[in-house]
Amino acid sequence: VASVAKPIVAPTPQPVVVTVTTLALSIGWYAAEYTSRLIDVPTIVAFYFLGTTGDRLRQLGIGGVTIVVQLIAAAASPDASGILVRGTGWTVAAMLCGELVRNRRLLLDEYAERAVRAEADSRAEAERRVADERLRIARDVHDVLAHTVSLMTVQAGVAYTLLANFENLTLTGAA
């Protein structure tokens, strides 16, 4: 049991190998006519990790082989019919739980990715708004400066005209 538990405590990148190994050890365990059901725990955990792979073809293959072996065991012994029901139930439940956890993780990853994209979009929108406001302020400053310069030009022209008229009056008055 300890050799079976090691890959389960530290999940392996090869859950198919672990599942097949624990299944073979479990079959050997029951073939030796041991009655303790503790050997089922590592096998169920291995099926759970098999379910987290998302490889449905392998899940169906290994699950199908497991159910066929349990069917053969149930047919060989009349009092072993509960093995088929319990074994099938635990096998399917463990793989479905693994699949459920895998799908939940994928969904959470997708939500996290969406949140990152939404935050980036929000930042881009804020930067765009800042740039638009800067452009509006620059246009306002340009308009005010243009108006002021044109007003200064008009006032300078009026002053020049008045100064020219004043010089003409002064020269004619002095003569």
Tens-digit pLDDT profile for residues 101-152: 999 999 999 999 999 999 999 999 999 999 999 999 999 999 999 999 999 9
Tens-digit pLDDT profile for residues 63-94: 888 888 888 877 777 676 676 777 788 888 99
90: left (phi over 0), alpha (psi -120 to 50) or beta: alpha
Tally of residues, the chain: 175
For Cα atoms 83, 85, 90, give the angle at the middle one, nearest 5 degrees.
90
26: number of Cβ within 10 Å: 22
Tens-digit pLDDT profile for residues 11-68: 566 777 888 888 888 878 877 877 777 878 888 888 888 888 888 888 888 888 888 8
| pTM of the model as a whole | 0.62
pLDDT the model gives residue 53:
85
Residue type, position 93, single letter: A
Tell me what percent of the chain is helix, strand and coil, each rounded to the nearest 5.
Answer: 90, 0, 10
Q: At what angle do helices 2-9 and 15-31 cross, to 10 degrees?
A: 160
89: number of Cβ within 10 Å: 10
| CB within 8 Å of 97: residues ≥ 6 apart | 48, 51
| CB within 8 Å of 125: residues ≥ 6 apart | none
Q: At what angle do helices 15-31 and 40-51 cross, to 10 degrees?
A: 160
Q: Residue 99 — φ and ψ, nearest 5°?
A: -65, -40
Q: How far, in Å, CA of 98 to CA of 85, rounded?
A: 20
Q: Residue 11 — φ and ψ, nearest 5°?
A: -55, 140
